[in-house]
Amino acid sequence: MQRICLFPGTFDPVTLGHVDIIDRALPLFDKIIVGIGLNAAKAPMFSAEQRKEWIDGIYKNEPRVEGAIYEGLTIDFCKKINARFILRGIRYVSDFEYEKTIADANRTMDRSIETIFLTGEPKYTSVASTIVRDIIRNGGDASPFLPEVVYKTLKN
């Protein structure tokens, strides 16, 4: 059985912190699906299609990573794509507390799907999509926080 992992999030935009987590998770899984979750409570800066295009562009030479757009419960999407693992990145202790609550709820709904936490590289600790969006909105240089594919799109 293939070890399929879902890395869910909004990825609005995709940052070097996201890429760090995906790259370091690659040796652990046969396939990583970067799931761009649609959340009615959030108003994203970039379309889901644009975010998926970025993921697919960043990993165009890595067939084990693909972008996908989904709606609804993450655990239901895991079942749909046969993912037995959920990947989450942790920057701070507060991230862990929040993520553990979600992992516990997911485990209650389906004990066969396990959540895996990876801590981000220290150099990416301050890289949060919220901060990057603020930099972009205010005309700042977000290039130190973004993969080249994303930065080139924004520059154009």
Catalytic residues: 18, 42, 91, 129
Q: What are the b/e assignments for 98-119, b being 16+ CB within 10 Å?
A: ebeeebeebeeeeeebebeebe
Closest of 98, 103, 125 to residue 15, by C-alpha: 125
Tell me how many degrees the CA angle 66-104-42 measures, rounded to the nearest 5. 55
Task: State how far the Cα of 5 lies from the Cα of 121, in Å rounded to an integer.
Answer: 20
* Cβ 29 vs Cβ 85: under 8 Å: yes
